[in-house]
Amino acid sequence: MPFHQLIYASRPFGFDDAALNGILMEARRYNAGHDITGALICRPDLYLQLLEGPQDIVESLYQRIAVDNRHLEVELLVSQPVEDRMFPDWAMLHDPAQSWLWTAEEVSDGAIQRASNEDIVAVFERSAQDATT
């Protein structure tokens, strides 16, 4: 399998437009230069990020992101080899979380921890579909 796919969830700390734009700018600059693509689903109670690319780069990037103080409770959900990228055209797609995602109440009640790998990946499949239509 040529690519590695990694998905984590976390809780934003100090979430506002300026913070988010800073993260996205930084992410896109680095990712574009390092063969990384993906998507960041964001809303005040939740970051859900998918990173994809060469395994060593994805894993070392995740190690840096995990200790970033702009979010808390970083939790690895999926880490697996994949045949194809889901976001080949996006250094980092920004997806303001849609209504079909778990509600804030469901999230605080552990919906993400209970979700299967397939459920989590399906969230991003939906996001990728929306991005191309």
Ligand X SMILES: Cc1cc2nc3c(=O)[nH]c(=O)nc-3n(C[C@H](O)[C@H](O)[C@H](O)COP(=O)(O)O)c2cc1C
Binding site for ligand X (CB under 6 A): 23, 26-27, 30-31, 40, 47, 49, 61, 64-65, 68, 70-71, 92
What is the smallest separation between the CB atom of 82 and ligand X, expressed in angstroms?
Answer: 17
Cβ 51 to ligand X, closest distance in Å? 6
Nearer to ligand X, 34 or 126 (CB): 34
Contact 15, 47 (CB under 8 A): no
For the chain, list the strands marked E by DSSP.
3-12, 37-43, 46-53, 71-82, 93-96
Query: Would you say 63 or 133 has its CB closer to ligand X?
Result: 63
Between 33 and 118, CB nearer to ligand X: 33
Report the distance separating Cα 47 and Cα 128, nearest Å: 16
Q: Minimum distance from CB of 104 to ligand X (Å)?
A: 17
Q: What is the nearest approach in angstroms of ligand X to the Cβ of residue 27?
A: 3
And the tokens for 113?
Answer: 């921890």
Q: What letters, b where the CB count within 10 A reaches 16 and e where it falls short, cover 60-98?
A: ebbeebeeeeebeebeebbbeeeeebbbeebbbbbbebe
Nearer to ligand X, 7 or 23 (CB): 23
